[in-house]
Chain A
């Protein structure tokens, strides 16, 4: 067994360059300290993304993106095709878990100040990936063409339409016309299976390359403790120690996905009918709830400015600030933690949680 292993490795080494794979595996290490747990969430997000790609490909075998057939083909898939219900439910649940994992990853990186020099680009590529993932969620939600998704999309694209100057154009671009119709479905399908995967792959490659190139970030507090000799610099090999732990996490995620799919199958609802009146309780997916709720609370007019517009403007500014945080938080470049930015993060996290809970009430 081990001879075969070594010979196979040698065969590949000869072609890829001597010892590159083994070299890479041997030299990559993961720092060990009391915040090490957060290192796992990036890998978890990546793993769930891979699950999405695999189940997504399987769904494509039966799905047809036309308003006449979309709902029926999903229905056929979950009722007639063996394990179709499982594949679809896993795709839906995994999407939600992936977005959750991505948020955890993002906030942990934020609070541990891992975005500081030289990892500004890692942070930016990660934020862009997060936006792409949210785009995946928004476009994928419509594809089963059920009532709830139809109206949620209507409301969501409506918001894009209230952006000044380019709003109208943006709305028509997203909907493929004035209204949410079959054209919108075709478009969203295109975004979901071609445009966004392409973008995601590119960004992911950059993100992972940067992570490998720069190594794992050590939180400033731990870094200082090591520099001052108060603590030893401990680390563990990526392979096999860290990877095996990663795999345990992935297996646990798989188990959780299977359990969620079997116990809480993702419901299909009723077919969208453009002429039906909107059902009560239209609500976007949970990760958009905090924005949805904010726009609900904003008055129609705030000092001559349209309330909704103000909300959208506010969120755009907040997103820009968030993306640019490695450049704004300058002191962290010298290893000094600015309270303001930690406070900002706590506020952002608290705001999202509180408003989402309010929307669910």
Chain B
């Protein structure tokens, strides 16, 4: 009798412990023994899942009774919700993720508007219409191995976002019905943004930075400048006040991306300005219109400043390599470099006088630095004069020695 009681107590204790730790729940115990990947994977993957880390169990999402060791654990009567259909996934997650009070118990800064955002997205709207090919929560976040956004292994970690989106958006066969391009990610990979990200700057923009994450929507034509302007503030402001603003709006052209492209945003070059072969201005402006002349003027000013800077750089470098002290001129020349950067910014006013204002300042500085470099090189020539004098004295001495030798030797003979 005593032993029976003890066994019973132990069993109750064990069951209690199993209920407290999801790892030992009947869900894990049984599913870990199954063979079909679909059924065994949840039990295997859940260990590293953020929900497991936060102390949640299978039953917290799927319902049912983890203490029941028979199949009845998964009966409707025990609140078992099973696996949600694709269309039901957002609501399934939102049971908790839309409950701000509940979410703040885990992370006081956590937002709870993901579902409402999602419903405004193209993904969300189409899912509502019964399209089950679109992305729902688990398509981006994973299913039983959901990781924090800050985890470098997470598919939603900034550096991994592009490949997560590409999973569907670069798959031409999968995207066939939607009639949208599938080369966005390939284009993005060539952009400066992707380069920055690859260099480890996780604040560099990826797909979701411009398109939103849960409320993923392509920015409309009119909102492009706003999207780019969230980071490129100065340019957005200049564009806003420029003659292009009204003209683009009238013609229904998107702002920034008209010249800079939307996904393949490469490092701009001075050649884009002007009327040359690589110019972006001449895609719209033709010879004779004021914009054409303005573009030409801006390009000339930029080129003139650039040339002056290159010349000063070369002369100062030459002088420095030859051992002349030109550091002050070099510091001054950084102001010309700065003017060049500012002039490139001012191109976005699309007014040539605004560009010239800056390039003229830069030109003056560059010319002054250049003169310092030239002067330093001239000092080198002065050294050559000193050398000349010294060489003359040496030659005189050599001549004297030569004559002396002749004299001595003629005397020795005679």
Direct interface between A and B, CB < 8 A: yes
Is B387 within 8 A of A262, CB to CB?
yes
* Complex contact B401–A244 (CB within 8 A): yes
Give the segment of B199-207, B294-302, B319-327 that binds chain A. B319-327
B404 within 8 A of A: yes
Residue in B321, B383, B402 with the greatest tally of chain A CB atoms within 10 Å:
B383
Contact B408 A248 (CB under 8 A): no
Question: Per a CB cutoff under 8 Å, which of A78, A240, A251, A265 touches B398?
Answer: A251
B397 at the interface (CB under 8 A from A): yes
A85, A86, A262, A269 — which one has the most chain B CB atoms within 10 A of its CB?
A262
Inter-chain CA distance A80–B323, complex, in Å, is 10
The answer to the question of A345 belonging to the interface, with a C-beta cut-off of 8 Å to chain B, is no
Determine if B323 and A268 form an interchain contact, defined as CB atoms under 8 angstroms apart.
Answer: yes
With an 8 Å Cβ cutoff, the count of chain B residues facing the other chain is 23
Provide the A218-253 mask, 1 if CB < 8 A to any CB of B, else 0: 000000000000000000000011001101100110
CA distance A245 to B394 in the complex (A): 14
22 pairs across A/B with beta carbons < 8 Å? A78-B323, A79-B323, A79-B324, A79-B325, A80-B325, A85-B323, A240-B408, A241-B409, A241-B412, A244-B405, A244-B408, A251-B394, A252-B394, A252-B398, A255-B395, A258-B387, A259-B391, A262-B383, A265-B380, A267-B321, A267-B322, A269-B321
Residue of B325, B395, B398 ringed by the most chain A CB atoms within 10 A: B398
Interface string of A67-91 (1 = CB under 8 A from B): 0000000000011100001101000
Note all chain A residues with C-beta closer than 8 A to B323. 78-79, 85, 88, 265, 267-268
Q: List chain B residues, Cβ under 8 A from A245.
A: 405
| Contacts from B to A (Cβ < 8 Å) | 321-325, 380, 383-384, 386-387, 390-391, 394-395, 397-398, 401-402, 404-405, 408-409, 412
| Residues of chain A from 260 to 291 with CB closer than 8 A to chain B in the complex | 261-263, 265, 267-269
Of all chain A residues, which has the CB nearest B390? A258
Min CB distance, B182 to chain A, in Å?
39
The reply to whether the CB of A310 lies closer than 8 angstroms to some CB of chain B is no
Find out whether the CB atom of A263 lies under 8 angstroms from the CB atom of B405.
no
Take A80-B325, A241-B408, A267-B322 as given contacts and tell me if A248 and B398 are in contact as well, using a CB distance cutoff of 8 Å. Answer: yes
A267 to B412, CA, bound (A): 49
Measured in the bound complex, the distance between the Cα atoms of B380 and A267 in whole Å is: 13
Q: Tell me the bound Cα distance from A265 to B379 in angstroms.
A: 13
A88: B residues at CB distance < 8 A: 323
Cα distance A255–B399 in the bound complex, in angstroms: 13
Contact at A255–B383, with CB atoms within 8 Å? no
A268 touches B321 (CB 8 A): yes
Q: Which residues of B contact A325 (CB under 8 A)?
A: none
Asked if A254 is at the interface (CB within 8 A of a chain B CB), the reply is: yes
Q: Is the CB of B322 within 8 A of A265?
A: yes
Query: Of the candidates A78, A79, A247, which one forms a contact with B401 in the assembled complex, judged by CB atoms under 8 Å apart?
Result: A247
Do residues A255 and B394 form an inter-chain contact, with CB atoms below 8 A? yes
A91 CB, nearest partner CB in chain B, Å: 13
Min CB distance A201 to B, Å, is: 28
Distance in Å from the Cβ of B130 to the closest Cβ of chain A?
58
Given A258-B391, A262-B384, A267-B323, 7 extra CB contacts under 8 A: A240-B408, A248-B405, A252-B398, A255-B394, A255-B395, A262-B387, A263-B384
* Chain A residues whose C-beta falls within 8 Å of the C-beta of B387 in the assembled complex: 258-259, 261-263
Q: A248 vs B401: C-alpha distance in the bound complex, in angstroms?
A: 7
- Return the CB mask of A54-78 against B: 1 if under 8 Å, else 0: 0000000000000000000000001
Contacts of B405 in A (CB 8 A): 240-241, 244-245, 248
Interface of chain B: mostly helix, strand, loop or mixed: helix
Residues of A within 8 A of B401 (CB): 244, 247-248, 251
Complex-state Cα separation, A262 to B389, whole angstroms? 12
Q: Which residues of B contact A262 (CB under 8 A)?
A: 380, 383-384, 386-387
A82–B76 alpha-carbon span in the complex (Å): 96
> Can you list the 10 inter-chain pairs with the closest CB atoms, starting with the nearest?
A79-B325, A262-B387, A78-B323, A255-B394, A85-B323, A262-B383, A244-B405, A248-B401, A251-B398, A267-B321
Indicate if the CB atoms of B397 and A251 lie closer than 8 Å. yes
A335 and B206 alpha carbons, distance in the complex (Å): 87
List chain B residues, Cβ under 8 A from A267. 321-323
* Residue ID in chain B nearest A79 by CB atoms: B325
The CA-CA distance from A254 to B324 in the complex, in Å, is: 23
Whole-angstrom CA separation of A286 from B395 in the bound complex? 30
> Which residues from 23 to 81 on chain A have a C-beta closer than 8 Å to any C-beta of chain B?
78-80
Closest CB of chain B to A279's CB: distance in Å?
Answer: 15
Residue numbers in A under 8 Å from B395 (CB-CB): 255
Name which residue of chain B comes closest to A252, CB basis: B398
| Distance between Cα atoms of A258 and B98 in the complex (Å) | 84
Nearest-neighbor residue (CB-CB) of B322 within chain A: A265
Residues of B within 8 A of A248 (CB): 398, 401-402, 405
Residues of the A chain whose Cβ atoms lie less than 8 Å from the Cβ of B409: 241
What residues of chain A lie closer than 8 Å to B324, measured between beta carbons?
79
What CA separation (Å) do A85 and B376 show in the bound complex?
A: 13
A353 to B324, CA, bound (A): 35
CA distance A251 to B325 in the complex (A): 31
Distance between A254 CB and nearest chain B CB, rounded to angstroms: 6
Considering the chains assembled together, what is the distance between the CA atoms of A248 and B395 in angstroms? Answer: 9
A241 / chain B contacts, CB cutoff of 8 Å = 405, 408-409, 412
User: In the complex, A247 Cα to B324 Cα: how many Å?
Assistant: 34
Give the shortest distance, in Å, between B58 (CB) and chain A (any CB).
51
Closest partner residue, chain B, to A247 (CB atom): B401
Separation of A240 and B402 alpha carbons in the complex (Å): 12
Complex Cα–Cα for A78 and B386 (A): 17
CB-based nearest B residue for A264: B322
Q: How far is the CB of A309 from chain B (nearest CB, A)?
A: 38
How far does the Cβ of A143 sit from chain B's closest Cβ, in whole Å?
A: 16
Considering the chains assembled together, what is the distance between the CA atoms of A86 and B324 in angstroms?
A: 12
Q: Are B404 and A254 in contact (CB under 8 A)?
A: no
Residues of B within 8 A of A254 (CB): 394
Q: For residue B322, which residues in chain A have a CB less than 8 angstroms away from its CB? A: 265, 267
| Residues of A with C-beta under 8 A to B325 | 79-80
Bound complex: CA of A251 vs CA of B394, how far in Å? 6
CB contact list, A311-332 vs B, under 8 A: none
Give the distance in Å from the alpha carbon of A88 to the alpha carbon of B322 in the complex.
12
Is the beta-carbon distance between A255 and B391 smaller than 8 angstroms? yes
Contacts of B398 in A (CB 8 A): 248, 251-252
Smallest CB separation, A59 vs chain B (Å)? 14
Nearest CB of chain A from residue B307's CB, rounded to whole Å: 26
